[in-house]
Amino acid sequence: MATRDLWNQIDDEVAKPGQQWLDMTDAARRSSVGKVMADHGMGDGLAIEACNADGMIYFSQRHAFPVRQRADSLLDLEAALKRSIDPSLTVWIQPQTDKNSLRRLRGVTVRFL
């Protein structure tokens, strides 16, 4: 994507999962993804939440990762999934709750009687 303009990509066709991925059961998809995760040492840090037929794979974090490590690890995992299972697969991570209690209070109105 070095020289292509993003506006030119709006109408591009999104890669669709192959028939092998579509024919798998949810358990088989999870098993395949879990095997790739184990092969790449990602099994202990992430939990598989969903493996959708549209190729979107959702994960949650079992423990906190530094942002830089998390980004690199997820990109590496996505590349491994694309090579090993299907080139259309995409990795998504579930958002985490903010650990800072003061930031979580934003927007909260406290009324005194």
Q: Is the pLDDT of residue 79 over 60?
A: yes
- Give the Cα separation of 57 and 29 in Å (integer): 9
- pTM, 2 dp: 0.72
Please report which confidence band the pLDDT of residue 9 belongs to, taking 50, 70 and 90 as the band edges: low
Classify each residue of 31-45 as buried b or exposed e, where b means 16 or more C-beta atoms within 10 Å of its C-beta.
ebbbebbeeeebeeb
Q: Is the pLDDT of residue 46 over 90?
A: no
Type of residue numbered 71:
A
Q: Is the pLDDT of residue 95 over 90?
A: no
Please report which confidence band the pLDDT of residue 1 belongs to, taking 50, 70 and 90 as the band edges: very low
CATH number of 16-94: 3.30.70
Q: Is the pLDDT of residue 105 over 80?
A: no
